[in-house]
């Protein structure tokens, strides 16, 4: 399979799950292993460009296919706008759900560059943030969308709902689209 653009060949057991292959065999520990029941979504990686829960995909199923993990978001030494959005808008607290959230966010923005808050919430609805930081995660993704559209002027522009340091701006972010 290819992982983050690199061709990988390993002999593995048929029952090995993709999440464990990535973490234990390739040492790509950015992908987290959570609930083991395809509920929490921290293990989300891309398989042929679509987010999947890697605790419920066999590593062997990815043979001959393209896998992208959170380590593959950074390109040429530069963080992806989604990663920067999570930094700017406090999109993570404990960080456990973050890799899955960011992979789903990246896929969403590739498909819909200007998602509404509702579309973002739907996209991440199969993923759980136990810090309950959903509002910040939504803001982070909107920050990335604005950044990519070139419409983000400052980090605290209230019209874009990116006011990470401005509680008043954050409170109105839901109505902007």
Partner 1 sequence: MQVPAPFEYQRVHSVGEAISLLDRLGDTARLVAGGHSLIPMMKLRLANFEYLIDINELHDELGYVRVEPGLIRIGAMTRHRELLESGELAAAFPVFRDAERVIADPVVRNRGTLGGSLCQADPSEDLSAVCTTLDASCVIQGVDGERVVSMEDFHQGPYETAVGDAEMLTEVRFPVRPRGSSAYEKVERRAGDWAVVSAGAAVWLDEDGLIADARVGLAAVGPNTAGIPGITQALRGQWPAQELYSRAGDIAAEACSPVTDRRGSAEYKRHLARELTVRVLRRAVARINGQGA
Q: Which residues bind partner 1 (CB under 8 A)?
A: 13-17, 20, 36-39, 41, 44, 50-53, 56-58, 60-61, 63, 104, 122-123, 125-127
Cβ closest to partner 1, residue 105 vs residue 145: 105
Cβ closest to partner 1, residue 60 vs residue 159: 60
CA distance 25 to 10: 9
**Closest separation between CB of residue 58 and partner 1, Å?**
7
Residue 150: which residues within 8 A CB-CB, separation 6 or more? none
In terms of DSSP bridges, do strands 44-47 and 6-7 run parallel, antiparallel, or are they unpaired? Answer: unpaired
**Closest separation between CB of residue 55 and partner 1, Å?**
8
CA distance 48 to 61: 11
**Closest separation between CB of residue 147 and partner 1, Å?**
23
**Closest separation between CB of residue 118 and partner 1, Å?**
12
Q: Which helix (H) or strand (E) holds 142?
A: helix 134-149
Cβ closest to partner 1, residue 35 vs residue 171: 35
**Cα end-to-end span (Å), the chain:** 39
DSSP 143: H
Write out the two tokens for 16: 């090995």
Cβ closest to partner 1, residue 127 vs residue 140: 127
- The SS3 of residue 165 is coil
**Closest separation between CB of residue 54 and partner 1, Å?**
10
Cβ closest to partner 1, residue 44 vs residue 164: 44
């Amino acid at each position: 399979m290819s992982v983050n653009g690199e061709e990988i060949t390993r002999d593995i057991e048929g029952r090995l799950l993709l999440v464990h292959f990535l973490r234990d065999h390739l040492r790509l520990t950015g992908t987290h292993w959570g609930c083991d029941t395809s509920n929490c979504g921290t293990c989300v990686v891309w398989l042929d460009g679509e987010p999947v829960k890697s605790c419920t995909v066999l590593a062997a199923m990815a043979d001959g296919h393209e896998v992208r993990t959170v380590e593959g978001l950074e390109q040429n030494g530069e963080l992806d706008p989604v990663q920067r959005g999570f930094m700017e808008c406090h999109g993570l607290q404990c960080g456990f759900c973050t890799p899955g959230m960011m992979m789903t966010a990246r896929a969403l923005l590739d498909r819909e560059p200007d998602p509404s808050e509702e579309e973002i919430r739907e996209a991440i609805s199969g993923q759980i943030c136990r810090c309950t930081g959903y509002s910040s995660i939504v803001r982070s993704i909107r920050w990335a969308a604005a950044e990519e559209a070139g419409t983000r002027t400052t980090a605290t522009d209230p019209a874009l709902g990116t006011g990470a340091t401005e509680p008043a701006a954050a409170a109105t972010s839901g109505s902007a689209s």
